[in-house]
Copies of this chain bind each other. A is one copy, B any other.
């Protein structure tokens, strides 16, 4: 395919993309297929000769679309939102064309430098303390990771290295594995599965401290765990706090946890994957009170800030902690300016070596929407969640299972877990909307997350009416069966 054909096909694709998103409402949000549907639809090996583009684009509707879960449908209320916007897509096209691999400053200075400045912009937008910003003289700074999982892992690895170095400086005989075997990291029982996964990868055991009745981690619970573990000779190294848990969007109490972490020299990492975007609105910043105690902070603009996946923003107060954990300098990656102290080599800040020019997405989105436009987007979602909550609250057959603070509503029918599992199944089998469940303690709960950027009040009303009708049907059947 040459440039001339790309000009033609690219413009057709722009229209296809616009058509897809403009009319996504007409597509069934969850697909009607069974596992293994795709393989029989296409040949079992690649063609020897090139095919015509027309054949491929025809197959997008024949092969791909029937199996897509439409995350940007206004009837999608599952998981958490994933960002999507036209300016982010335009930036991604440019990113693809430049196609640089920005592992070092020299491998593409613009890629590195725009990222540093965009992370400063974003840090200011959410009200991060200045220590997290790079500026021109700061010791901190931000980086784009692929996902929050990687950010948590990087933070834990940095904490691990820091403690190993400190203890080996005190006692040169201690081996790395002796130290790691005594290390312990903490998080709440509401933390995302990726936090536990970071522990498995790093080999640092992780203990879950019990959350309170609002599903928040509290200081006394951490303190208790620390005292028990220190008495047993363990070395506490890390605490991962969550702002906006996946289960119920609860918030750990940083004002209690932070001072403990600082006093006990635990690295405090904050995972605000979903909720972080809301902090661009001053009225939600009370939820991050205590962020100044943290060593690292992360949230996903690719969730709720209209930036297409992947773009997870991660800041540290001392970038030397992060870089020190993994610096490797093979000759093939060295260049003249690298020891000048003026450059950033982001390869030391992340698990992979290669990286795309992802900061373009932030730049385009921030400038097209402005801070006000992004605030409008966040506030609209929060308002829509409250609208759903209002419907719920007026129907006494339902109960709300956790405080509704941002765009997530956790609810259930009063009654057994079994009953709610059946309700979920009915909702997802009808495929008019899509939601997923969670467990809060031993309670099976339905999660209603406001997701698509195109979702409006009419969709919330539709969703509520649909859920309410399915619940009525279910309760009627159950009552006829004498099961209630």
Contact = CB atoms under 8 A, between A and B. Distances in A.
A393 to B, nearest CB: 23
B99 A367 contact: no
Max chain B C-beta neighbours (<10 A), residue from A71, A111, A148, A302: A71
12 contacts: A31-B110, A36-B136, A44-B120, A44-B121, A63-B110, A71-B98, A72-B99, A83-B99, A89-B93, A89-B97, A149-B351, A181-B181
Contacts of A153: 351
A371 B328 contact: no
A86 B46 contact: no
Contacts of A100: 68-71, 82
Interface residues of A, number: 153
A197 B326 contact: yes
Given A96-B17, A343-B35, A368 B1 contact: yes
Contacts of A370: 46-51
Contacts of A334: 437
Number of copies: 2
Contacts of A85: 1
A366 interface: yes
A67 B110 CA distance: 4
Contacts of A329: 193
B47 A366 contact: yes
A165 B393 CA distance: 50
A180 interface: yes
Given A1-B368, A64-B98, A193-B333, 18 more contacts: A1-B85, A11-B14, A20-B98, A36-B136, A45-B120, A46-B366, A49-B373, A60-B94, A64-B360, A68-B110, A71-B99, A72-B99, A146-B354, A200-B325, A201-B326, A302-B354, A331-B439, A336-B428
